[in-house]
Chains A and B, each alone.
Chain A
Amino acid sequence: MNFLGYQRPDGSAGIRNHVLVIPGGFLAAKIGESVAGVRTIVTSDSGSGRTGRDRETIARTLIGLGRNPNVASVIVHPLSPGAGYPELKPARLAEEIAGSGKRVELIDVAEEGSTYRALEKGVNLAREMVLEASRLRRQPFDLSHLTVGVKCGHSDPTSGIAGNPVNGNLFDRIVAAGGTALFGETTEIIGAEHVLSRRGINKAVSRGILEAAAETEERAKATGEDIRTINPVPSNIAAGISTLEEKSLGAIHKSGSAPIQGVLKYGERPQGKGLYFVDNWMSMGSIFAGYAAAGAQLVIFQLGGGGWRGGDILPTSTAVVAPLMWTTANPKTLSHFPTGIDFYSGTVIEGKDTIAKSGEKLLQKVLDIASGTFTRVETIKHTDPTQIYLKDPCF
């Protein structure tokens, strides 16, 4: 069970081979328009007017994206409204990314004399770095080098019965082979946290899971609103999910059955291998960048979709450097998004596959994508914006 990846200096394995420019903004966007193979984060979360805790979350996200194995090398620039804060100083971001051993270049716009002169330097640097990255060849790595993050969304009853359990089976296989798997969406463990907390490897982890759910529930209650008017989202209710508890009890199946090694913050890198719970927010605009910052090379959206109508193009990855694959167990969703679904697990509901058999097929698909095959939405040249998960009020 190997995949073909790019060896990085810290021993990790990239499944893609990008040059990353951070933070987002004019300079990063223009370098990306000019040079093939360059990625940047599209977000308005600069850190300006944010608390120290939130600025650290932004820094952790940017540093984590830079350290992600899918990134060959990184350019850091100072043209961001938040760059003056100590957490977000370009030199700090560059130094922490460089700790992984990969090449990091810092552009000093003041020294270059103008933004356009800095752009010229950035384009030339990026071209050189992309060329350098292209000389790398893929080689075999075992699953201990793979980290995958999952979100379930527009969930419907096929999610809890088949889609999420098949993803859980995938996670069990990855963890058993020494790899790392990330799941989260704290709102969507409310009502199921007592079940999940039994799987913590020790009391501290079990307590951490309960505390994350309690903190989120308290914040929900403080709004004065019935959470059912917020989450389950309208598409969940339209498809037959009635309460948050019901949604949560289906959602936790995506984590499989492995022991939970720890509770991570958004964008926090796990200290070891295995299954981790991430205290994050369910939004697809937010969750995937956090997984990528934690080191995930691949992210999965397990889609119910029974109550979701709209265009037939699925959103692209907001993980900046990690490809997004879409899975579903709903036959109607499969036919609604014929060019978007990478893997179909509805064969479980049709009685053609067991959950284990479908999980085995999903693992083969994951290894194929990890080895270089594009996901469906990777073929679309569009970047949806990323919303970093910040918990504090802004000032």
Chain B
Amino acid sequence: MASRGALMLSDKDNVATGLEDIEAGTEVSVRLGKEVREVRALEKIPFGFKIAVVSIAKGAEVTKYGEPIGIASRDIKQGEMVHIHNLEGARGRGDIARGGSR
């Protein structure tokens, strides 16, 4: 099967969604409309999970669909997987409303 790579949904996005299981070290073809750019996967990224297409600093917004989906909870390198270990939601945070911290 031809490589399906990963898909960016907006030019504002800093992550792309993997359309196949991606092995560590793979040069991933990241599509945005008709544009294609190559990003080297630094780790295994399963189908449907997100890959950072640029480096994202701790505290910066992570963007998908052209909109913020949360805040980076640590520095994320280009090519790393982006999921709950390095991305936190900013909404509905009852834990913070009660005086907790991120």
Q: Do A and B come from one complex?
A: yes
> A interface vs B, CB < 8 Å?
156-158, 160-161, 187, 190-192, 195, 217, 220-228, 237, 239-240, 242-246, 249-250, 306, 349, 351
8 sample A-B contacts, Cβ–Cβ < 8 Å, listed by A number: A157-B48, A195-B67, A220-B92, A224-B97, A243-B70, A244-B92, A246-B69, A351-B4
With a cutoff of 8 Å between Cβ atoms, the chain B residues found around residue A221 in the complex are: 92-94, 97
Highest count of chain A CB atoms <10 Å: which of B7, B70, B91: B91
Q: How far is the CA of A217 from the CA of B67 in the complex (A)?
A: 18
Distance between A295 CB and nearest chain B CB, rounded to angstroms: 31
User: Which one of B35-43, B52-60, B81-89 contacts A?
Assistant: B81-89
With a cutoff of 8 Å between Cβ atoms, the chain B residues found around residue A245 in the complex are: 67-70, 89-91
B32 near A: Cβ within 8 Å?
A: no
A221-B97, A246-B70, A249-B64 given; A228·B84 CB < 8 A: yes
Q: Which residue of B lies closest to A226 (CB)?
A: B95
Beyond A226-B89, A246-B70, A349-B4, 5 extra complex contacts between A and B, CB < 8 Å: A158-B48, A192-B67, A237-B84, A240-B50, A243-B89
Q: How far is the CA of A222 from the CA of B91 in the complex (A)?
A: 13
Highest count of chain A CB atoms <10 Å: which of B4, B70, B91, B92: B92
Q: How far is the CA of A306 from the CA of B21 in the complex (A)?
A: 13
Contact present for A242 and B92 (CB under 8 Å): no
A220-B92, A249-B65 given; A240·B7 CB < 8 A: no
A161-B17, A242-B84 given; A228·B94 CB < 8 A: no
With a cutoff of 8 Å between Cβ atoms, the chain A residues found around residue B87 in the complex are: 242-243
Q: How far is the CA of A31 from the CA of B32 in the complex (A)?
A: 58
With a cutoff of 8 Å between Cβ atoms, the chain A residues found around residue B34 in the complex are: none
Contact present for B48 and A240 (CB under 8 Å): yes
In the A-B complex, the 7 residue pairs with the smallest Cβ-Cβ separation, listed nearest first, are A227-B92, A243-B89, A157-B48, A246-B69, A240-B49, A240-B48, A221-B97
With a cutoff of 8 Å between Cβ atoms, the chain A residues found around residue B97 in the complex are: 221-222, 224
With a cutoff of 8 Å between Cβ atoms, the chain A residues found around residue B67 in the complex are: 191-192, 195, 245, 249
Q: How far is the CA of A192 from the CA of B48 in the complex (A)?
A: 20
Contact present for B49 and A157 (CB under 8 Å): yes
A222 in complex: contacting residue of B46, B65, B89, B94, CB < 8 Å: B94
Contact present for A217 and B19 (CB under 8 Å): no
With a cutoff of 8 Å between Cβ atoms, the chain B residues found around residue A161 in the complex are: 7, 9, 17
With a cutoff of 8 Å between Cβ atoms, the chain B residues found around residue A157 in the complex are: 17, 47-49
With a cutoff of 8 Å between Cβ atoms, the chain A residues found around residue B49 in the complex are: 157, 240
Distance between A314 CB and nearest chain B CB, rounded to angstroms: 20
Contact present for B69 and A191 (CB under 8 Å): yes
Distance between A53 CB and nearest chain B CB, rounded to angstroms: 24
Q: Which residue of B lies closest to A245 (CB)?
A: B69
A220-B94, A221-B94 given; A243·B88 CB < 8 A: yes
Contact present for B19 and A242 (CB under 8 Å): no
A240-B48, A242-B82, A242-B87 given; A225·B95 CB < 8 A: yes
Q: How far is the CA of A195 from the CA of B98 in the complex (A)?
A: 28
Q: How far is the CA of A237 from the CA of B7 in the complex (A)?
A: 19
Q: How far is the CA of A245 from the CA of B94 in the complex (A)?
A: 15
Contact present for B69 and A249 (CB under 8 Å): yes
Distance between B52 CB and nearest chain A CB, rounded to angstroms: 12
Q: How far is the CA of A158 from the CA of B98 in the complex (A)?
A: 35
Distance between A148 CB and nearest chain B CB, rounded to angstroms: 24
Q: How far is the CA of A217 from the CA of B89 in the complex (A)?
A: 13
Q: How far is the CA of A243 from the CA of B84 in the complex (A)?
A: 8
With a cutoff of 8 Å between Cβ atoms, the chain A residues found around residue B46 in the complex are: 240
Q: How far is the CA of A240 from the CA of B84 in the complex (A)?
A: 9
Q: Which residue of B lies closest to A228 (CB)?
A: B89
Distance between B83 CB and nearest chain A CB, rounded to angstroms: 5
With a cutoff of 8 Å between Cβ atoms, the chain B residues found around residue A246 in the complex are: 64, 69-70
Distance between A392 CB and nearest chain B CB, rounded to angstroms: 20
A226 in complex: contacting residue of B7, B9, B64, B93, CB < 8 Å: B93
Distance between B37 CB and nearest chain A CB, rounded to angstroms: 18
With a cutoff of 8 Å between Cβ atoms, the chain A residues found around residue B9 in the complex are: 160-161
